[in-house]
């Protein structure tokens, strides 16, 4: 596919002339501009806004792909779209590359006026300070989520949002409804919501005199309480939250 390598090299020459090395190598910027052009293409061939939003939700709820394989998929599906739309992929590419060479200064001016942190190609009335404040808030919230999930010691200095989303997906997918559990002798782990309390010993009891403050108790099927081991107790929530989770679990079956 030497002709494709040649075309990519000629696009590189135009990029370096128009923008320079820094913007040419900015992968975030290139992601935004590729997505913009892709959306404009499918809009021009009949794709609706609703369909685009549905596909965004679908894609971003799936595992992250491998860039080389995804580039291949883009090329194959773009060629297939051109076939359906009766367009020449190569001819359209050459025509556009020739056009952008004629308006380098105009494209530079548009790039210079674009907000630094925004994916949008044009200004939206916000200042750089606004975007920097939003970015700082984003980092703070990601950090708070990381601490909630992993604790202060286990949290990264500054995790990425993708890392946090991946952890949440793993946690969400780990536990399945009890109704779907195998009933063929397979050994599995199960967890259940159990009313608990920490019952204090009386000050004149032998346990209290030995320095034992109290013991964990679980509610029995008859509404009473019995002592239980605390070796497997790792998490807790309020009675109100526990009742809410029980209702939600019953609704899921």
CA-to-CA distance for 199 and 209, rounded, in angstroms?
Answer: 16
For the chain, give every domain's residue range: 2-123, 134-174, 196-252
Is there a contact between 147 and 124 (Cβ–Cβ < 8 Å)? Answer: no
Q: Can you state the percent helix, strand and coil of the chain, rounding each to 5? A: 60, 5, 35
Angle, nearest 10°, between helix axes 2-18 and 104-113? 60
Q: How confident is the model at residue 111 (pLDDT cuts 50, 70, 90)?
A: confident
Reported as a single tens digit per residue, the pLDDT across 121-137 is 665 566 667 777 888 88
What's residue 15's pLDDT?
93
Residue 95's φ and ψ, nearest 5 degrees, are -60, -45
Over range 157-164, report the average pLDDT. Answer: 83
What's residue 188's pLDDT?
79
Q: How confident is the model at residue 7 (pLDDT cuts 50, 70, 90)?
A: very high
What's residue 132's pLDDT?
79
Q: Which residues contact 94 (CB under 8 A, 6 or more apart)?
A: 7
Distance of alpha carbon 66 from the chain centroid: 16
Question: If you average pLDDT over every residue of the chain, what do you get?
Answer: 84
């Amino acid at each position: 596919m030497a002709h494709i390598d040649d075309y990519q090299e000629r696009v590189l020459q135009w990029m370096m002339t128009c923008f320079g090395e820094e913007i040419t190598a900015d992968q975030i910027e290139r992601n935004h501009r590729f997505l913009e052009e892709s959306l404009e293409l499918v809009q021009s061939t009949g794709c609706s806004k609703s369909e685009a939003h549905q596909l965004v939700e679908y894609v971003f709820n799936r595992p992250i792909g491998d860039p080389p394989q995804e580039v291949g998929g883009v090329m194959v599906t773009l060629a297939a779209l051109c076939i359906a739309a009766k367009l020449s992929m190569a001819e359209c590419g050459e025509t556009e590359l020739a056009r952008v060479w004629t308006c380098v200064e105009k494209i530079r001016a548009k790039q210079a006026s674009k907000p630094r942190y925004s994916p949008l190609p044009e200004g939206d009335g916000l200042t750089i300070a606004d975007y920097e404040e939003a970015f700082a808030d984003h980092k703070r919230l990601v950090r708070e989520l990381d601490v909630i999930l992993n604790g202060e010691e286990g949290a990264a200095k500054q995790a990425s949002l993708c890392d946090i989303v991946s952890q949440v997906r793993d946690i969400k997918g780990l536990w399945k409804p009890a109704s779907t559990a195998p009933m063929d002798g397979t050994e599995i782990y199960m967890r259940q919501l159990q009313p608990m309390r920490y019952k204090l010993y009386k000050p004149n009891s032998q346990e209290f005199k030995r320095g034992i403050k109290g013991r964990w108790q679980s509610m029995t099927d008859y509404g009473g309480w019995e002592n239980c081991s605390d070796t497997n107790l790792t998490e807790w929530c309020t009675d109100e939250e526990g009742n809410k989770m029980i209702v939600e679990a019953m609704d899921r079956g």
